[in-house]
Amino acid sequence: MKDITFIGGGPAGYVGAIRAAQLGADACIIEADELGGTCLNRGCIPTKALYRNAEVIELIKKSEEFGINAELLEINIDMIQKRKEDVVETLVKGIHHLLKKNKVEVIYGNGILLDPQSIKVLRNDGEIDEVKSKNIIIATGSKPFLPPIPGCTREVVKTTEEMLAIDCIPNRVAIIGGGVIGMEFACILNSFGSEVTVVEMMNNILPTVDSGISKRLKVMLKKRGIKFMTGTTVKNIRDEVDVKVITVEDKKGEHELIAEEILVSTGRVPNVDKLGLDEIGIVYDGKGIKVNENYSTNIDHIFAIGDVNGESMLAHAASYQAVKVVEHLLEDKDVVPSPVPGCIFTSPEVATVGITEDEAKKEGLAYVTNQFNFSANGKALTLGEGEGFVKVIADKESHQILGVHIMGPHASDLINEGILAVEKGLKAEDFTSIIHPHPTLGEAFHEAVLGLIGEAIHQV
C-alpha cells in the first residue's frame, strides 16, 4: 500500500509527490497524459515562450532608439513553435528525472476512485490496475471553459490550447474575454502582427486587478493598436467562408465583428469528470471539489488540491497547496494560508499581491497608498521601458504593507519583495535600513514604500 497517491501529475501532483518522498513516504502519481499538466504542456510555460518571442519582436521594433538600425524581416512561426516545444520538452524531462531520483512511481492512465483508499487505473496501455493508498490526493487540474454562446464550439473557435499550436499567424483575431489569459494572448498576437480585438463583458479589462493598473494598461495597449470592446456581450458566432462573424451587443445595440480566428478565454473549469466522485459521495459543484482548511474533502483520506478545488487557479498556488497538505499528512502540520501573488505577462508585465485599493475602499479600511513611476527609475530608462509604476497600499496607522501592485518592466520578478512584505506583515519603516543596489528596478519598489512615510528621495 502506498502512503500517498496523487491523481494528476501537474504542478500540484508532481511537487507534492517529491515533497512526500523527501519526508520518507512511498509516493505514487497517476497521470492520464504527460507530467507537468496544463501549466507546463499547454499553459504557463508555452505561453511564456511565445511571450518571449513577442518581447524580442518589440525590442527589434524599438532598436532605432538604441542607435541600432535593425529591421524585422520575417517571423518564422515554425521556428517559434519549435523553440517553444524544445523548452517544454526540456522541463518535462527534468520532472521525469526528479521523480525517478526521488523514487516516485508514475502510472500512466485514468484514475477512478473506488473507496477512500483504492483507485482503479485504466492504464494508457490498455491494462487495468488497482492502487491501494493510505491517502489519496486529487490534483487533476482544470480545462478551458466554453460559454453557452450559440455557435461557440471547438470546431469554430480556439481555446488557448489550440492557439498555442497555430502554424500560421492570423491577420485578424477576436479574443472573447479580457481576463489574464485573454490579455496575454492579445499582446503576443499583436506583436506577431495580428489585428487584435478584445471583447469583454465587464466595463474594463482585468477586472480583478487594481483598477488603477487595469485602466492605465488599457490605454497603453490601445496605443499599440489593440482594440477593445468592453461592456459588450457576445450574442452568437457564425462560421462563414474564410471568416468568422461575431454578433455582439453593447449600449449602442447589436453589430458584427469579423475575424479569421476567435480565441475564447472566458476562464477554466475544474477537471472532475470520470473520477468516480458521485459514486463514492465526494461533494463538489461547478466551481470545484469542496475542501476544508487542510484541503480534505468530505471523505477521510481523500484530499483535493490545485485548480480542481477552485480556490485559486494558479500553478504556484497548486504547488503550495501540495506541499502543505503533504506536510499536514506526514508531519501533522496545519495548513497556514499565504497570500497568493498573480503575474500577468502582458506588455508591460503586471504583478500583484495582497489587497487592491478597490478592495480597501469597499471594506472601509483606513489606508495610505503611494505610487512610484518607472519614468523616474534609472534602470528602467536605460532599458527603454519607463512606462508603468509600483503602487503600495498600507494600513494608515501602523504602515503595515497590505498590497503591492506593479505594472512595468520585470514586474513578475519585482513582486517577490512585495510578497515577503505582505506575508511577513512588514511595515514601511522596516525598509528604511534596507539598501537596494543601484541602478536596479528594485529601487522603484523601495521608493514606493518609503513614499508612504514621506521618505522617498526621488519623488516630488
Measured at the alpha carbon of residue 337, what is the angle toward residues 334 and 342, in degrees to the nearest 5?
150
Contact 116, 299 (CB under 8 A): yes
pLDDT in tens, 86-136: 999 999 999 999 999 999 999 999 999 999 999 999 999 999 999 999 999
The predicted pLDDT at position 440 comes to 98
Cα 442 from Cα 53, distance rounded (Å): 25
The predicted pLDDT at position 368 comes to 98
pTM for this prediction? 0.95
pLDDT in tens, 11-45: 999 999 999 999 999 999 999 999 999 999 999 99
Mean pLDDT confidence for 210-218: 96
Residue holding cell 518607472?
A: 374
The predicted pLDDT at position 414 comes to 98
pLDDT in tens, 252-305: 999 999 999 999 999 999 999 999 999 999 999 999 999 999 999 999 999 999
Quick one: pLDDT band at residue 57, thresholds 50, 70, 90? very high
The predicted pLDDT at position 179 comes to 96
Contact 422, 354 (CB under 8 A): yes
Q: Determine what percent of the chain is predicted with pLDDT higher than 90.
A: 98
3-state per-residue secondary structure call for the chain: CEEEEEECCCCCHHHHHHHHHHCCCCEEEEECCCCCHHHHHHCHHHHHHHHHHHHHHHHHHCHHHHCCCCCCCCCCHHHHHHHHHHHHHHHHHHHHHHHHHCCCEEEEEEEEEEECCEEEEEECCCCEEEEEEEEEEECCCEEECCCCCCCCCCCCCECHHHHCCCCCCCCEEEEECCCHHHHHHHHHHHHHCCEEEEEECCCCCCCCCCHHHHHHHHHHHHHCCCEEEECCEEEEEEECCCCEEEEEEECCEEEEEEECEEEECCCEEECCCCCCHHHHCCCEECCEECCCCCCECCCCCEEECHHHHCCCCCHHHHHHHHHHHHHHHHHCCCCCCCCCCEEECCCCEEEEEECCHHHHHHCCCCEEEEEEEHHHCHHHHHHCCCCCEEEEEEECCCCEEEEEEEEECCHHHHHHHHHHHHHCCCEHHHHCCCCCCCCCCHHHHHHHHHHHHCCCCCCC
Q: Chain-wide mean pLDDT for the chain?
A: 96
The catalytic residue positions are 438
Residues 6+ positions from 86 with CB-CB distance below 8 Å: none
The predicted pLDDT at position 412 comes to 98
Q: Determine what percent of the chain is predicted with pLDDT higher than 70.
A: 100
Mean pLDDT confidence for 214-230: 97
The predicted pLDDT at position 121 comes to 98
pLDDT of 72 over the 90 cut: no
pLDDT in tens, 423-456: 999 999 999 999 999 999 999 999 999 999 999 9
The predicted pLDDT at position 241 comes to 87
Domains of the chain: 2-144+269-331 (3.50.50.60), 160-266 (3.50.50.60), 348-453 (3.30.390.30)
Residues 6+ positions from 8 with CB-CB distance below 8 Å: 29, 30, 31, 32, 37, 138, 139, 140, 141, 271, 306, 308
The predicted pLDDT at position 136 comes to 98
Quick one: pLDDT band at residue 73, thresholds 50, 70, 90? confident
pLDDT in tens, 342-396: 999 999 999 999 999 999 999 999 999 999 999 999 999 999 999 999 999 999 9
The predicted pLDDT at position 174 comes to 98
